[in-house]
Structure 1
Amino acid sequence: MCYATSLRKKREEIEQRLLNKIGATFEDPLDYDPYYHLNGFTHGNLYIIKMDEPESIYPAKWGLVPDWGTHDPEAFWKKSNTLNATSEHIFERASYKDSAEDKRCLVLADGFFEPHHENGVSIPYFCFQPSNEHPEGDLFLFAGLYNELDDAQFTATILTLEANPFFAEIHNKRKRMPLVLADHFYEDWLDDGLNQPQLNELMATGFSDRPFRAHPVTRDLYKKGVDTNKPEFIAPLDKDTLF
């Protein structure tokens, strides 16, 4: 599962990267705050591109709140974990099926964290897609769903699917991975003309073909009361030092 992400890029870098892909810019540039580590359980802001406004990037609280929970999101989050949505079941689950039909989104990130279990210990791994321009991790987009809290606020979830061989070794207990879309599927995911079988096929085959890398990071990431929004929390560590 994907319960923590990073988005370290400057606003200008993000908009330039998306210029030839989907052309989206931040609706309000002052709303953007980059981060090294966002813990989903704090329900901080992800940044999303919505179906009905593919030219704009909006902040969205992490943890989709369906219509029946919007009167009290905090109460809903206490009872329900909607940070991730299992892609194989989004049309069956009451919390997701309406959004799956007409409120799909792209979720911006340049890294995410997965737990690796070894000798009874959970070790966080930082996962990223290096490029020549950004060896520390290029921008990519998750497939996501969103819903509206009101006219100016949104909530969102990240889709997951069965792990490929690389991520099955990293996330070796649950063997799931977030759905990072290949660039050429961005517009398809936001297309309101696709039917359910077409969307199921896209989710099953749309994972990015750009290779990922991953390395262990400090287990201090799991400590309560620690400010993890710092570069040292994505720095690679020798796994032997974590035991």
Structure 2
Amino acid sequence: MCYHIALTSPAEALEDRFQAQFPDGVEPPVYHHVSAFAHPEVPVITGDQPQAIQLFRWGLIPGWVKNEDQASDLARMTLNARGDSMFEKPSFKQAAARRRCLILVDGFYEWMHQGGKKYPFFIQVQQQKPFALGGLWETWTDRETGEVVNTCSVVTLDANPLMARIHNTKERMPFVLPHEVERQWIREDLTRPDVEHLMRPVDDGYLRVHTVSPLVSQQARKNTNVPEVHEDYTYAELAEWQ
């Protein structure tokens, strides 16, 4: 699954990498580590505004949701959308068909379970530059206040061999989009077979991984939004990963 990301690239770097622009006066958030369960705003690019980088709340809320309580409950369950079932799930099926997006990140975190312990890893692309996760998006209007909320969810797939070794309990991974198919993913005219054809895990060699400090696992007690959270950290018992 994918519940923890990093994004520290400035606006200029994101705009140059994705050939899209933030609105005037809008800057990307700085996340050395942030959890999806905090429902942070994340930068996205959608098919209906492909030249704009917008900030959407993580945790998808479909337009048919009736009230704020229902929206809050559902958003906790829609942080990720399984690629193999998103066309059937009521929360995701409309977005899967027409509202797909790029979610811009610098990396994501995942944990390996071994010997009764959990070891955190940080995953980037080999170039160590911003990249896109495949996502879904929706717009929800609070019927009581009139507030319009744009939200998103990260699509997940069966893990490639590298990520299956790391995320060795669920063997899942976020849908990392290769550069050459990013803009295809957000096209609004794709059929379901077209979309499903795109949803393939990247090869192991596309990714760069390293173990990081136990700090990232202590978000309930410590501030984990600090640079050292994604620095290399050595575990003697994981020598093969050093």
Normalising by the residue count of structure 1, what TM-score does the alignment of the two structures yield?
0.88
* Number of matched pairs: 231
Using the TM superposition, give the Cα deviation of residue 71 of structure 1 relative to its aligned residue in structure 2, in angstroms.
Answer: 2.9
1:188-207 equivalences under 5 Å are 188-204=184-200, 207=202
Using the TM superposition, give the Cα deviation of residue 29 of structure 1 relative to its aligned residue in structure 2, in angstroms.
Answer: 4.2
Using the TM superposition, give the Cα deviation of residue 81 of structure 1 relative to its aligned residue in structure 2, in angstroms.
Answer: 1.6
What's the CA shift string for 1:144-187, capped at 9, x where partnerless?
00111347531100001011111111111111110011111112
Is the partner of 1:26 in helix, strand or coil?
Answer: coil
Structure 1: which amino acid aligns with 2:8?
R
Normalising by the residue count of structure 2, what TM-score does the alignment of the two structures yield?
0.88
* 5+ long unaligned stretches in structure 1: 132-136
- Quickly say closer, same or farther: Cα 1:50–1:210, change in 2 above 3 A: farther
Counterpart CA distance in 2 for 1:198 and 1:208 is 20
- Quickly say closer, same or farther: Cα 1:36–1:90, change in 2 above 3 A: same
Structure 1: which amino acid aligns with 2:215?
D
- Where does residue 25 of structure 1 map in the other structure? 21
Using the TM superposition, give the Cα deviation of residue 41 of structure 1 relative to its aligned residue in structure 2, in angstroms.
Answer: 0.5
What percentage of aligned pairs have identical amino acids?
33
Q: Does 1:38 align with 2:34?
A: yes
1:167-182 equivalences under 5 Å are 167-182=163-178
Contact 1:182 1:209 in 2 (8 A): no
Structure 1: which amino acid aligns with 2:162?
F
Residue 71 of structure 2, aligned match among 50, 73, 76: 76
Counterpart CA distance in 1 for 2:184 and 2:167 is 28
- Quickly say closer, same or farther: Cα 1:53–1:152, change in 2 above 3 A: farther
Q: Does 1:126 align with 2:122?
A: yes
- Give me the CA root mean square deviation: 2.1
Counterpart CA distance in 2 for 1:142 and 1:28 is 24
Q: Does 1:115 align with 2:111?
A: yes
Q: Does 1:97 align with 2:93?
A: yes
Using the TM superposition, give the Cα deviation of residue 229 of structure 1 relative to its aligned residue in structure 2, in angstroms.
Answer: 0.8
Contact 1:36 1:233 in 2 (8 A): yes
- Quickly say closer, same or farther: Cα 1:29–1:118, change in 2 above 3 A: farther
Residue 129 of structure 2, aligned match among 138, 142, 146: 138
Counterpart CA distance in 1 for 2:118 and 2:24 is 38
- Quickly say closer, same or farther: Cα 1:174–1:187, change in 2 above 3 A: same
Using the TM superposition, give the Cα deviation of residue 77 of structure 1 relative to its aligned residue in structure 2, in angstroms.
Answer: 3.7
Is the partner of 2:200 in helix, strand or coil?
Answer: helix
Contact 1:70 1:149 in 2 (8 A): no
Counterpart CA distance in 1 for 2:155 and 2:88 is 14
Using the TM superposition, give the Cα deviation of residue 31 of structure 1 relative to its aligned residue in structure 2, in angstroms.
Answer: 4.1
